[in-house]
Homo-oligomer: A and B are copies of this chain.
Amino acid sequence: VLLKLGNALEIRQDGRMPPATARARARAEITREIVDAGKRQLAEVGAAGLSLRAVAREVGMVSSAVYRYFPSREQLITTLIVDAYDGLGAAVEHAEAPVDRDDLRGRWRAAGGAVRAWALAHPHEYALIYGSPVPGYRAPEDTIAPATRAALVLIELLVDAQAQGRLVQDPPTTVADAALRADLELLRDTFRGVPDALILRALVGWSALFGLVSFELFGQFQNVIAANAAFFAVTLNELATFIGIDAAG
Contacts and interface: CB of A to CB of B under 8 A. Distances in A.
B226 A215 contact: no
Contact of A207 (B179, B200, B211): B211
Interface in A152-175: 171, 173, 175
A242 B227 CA distance: 22
A78 interface: no
A241 B171 contact: yes
Contact of A239 (B175, B204, B209): B204
Copies per assembly? 2
A204 B48 contact: no
Contacts of A180: 225, 227, 230-231, 234
A22 interface: no
B144 A223 contact: yes
Interface stretch (A25-33, A68-76, A126-134): A126-134
A210 interface: yes
A231 B187 CA distance: 14
Contact of A224 (B187, B226, B242): B187
Interface string A190-206: 00000000001101100
Of listed A131, A180, A200, A233, residue having the most chain B CB within 10 A: A180
B179 A226 contact: yes
11 contacts: A46-B132, A127-B132, A130-B214, A132-B218, A177-B230, A179-B230, A180-B225, A183-B231, A200-B231, A203-B231, A207-B220
Given A130-B220, A179-B227, A207-B212, 17 more contacts: A45-B136, A48-B48, A48-B135, A131-B131, A133-B218, A144-B222, A173-B237, A175-B234, A180-B231, A180-B234, A182-B226, A200-B238, A208-B212, A210-B211, A210-B214, A211-B211, A214-B214
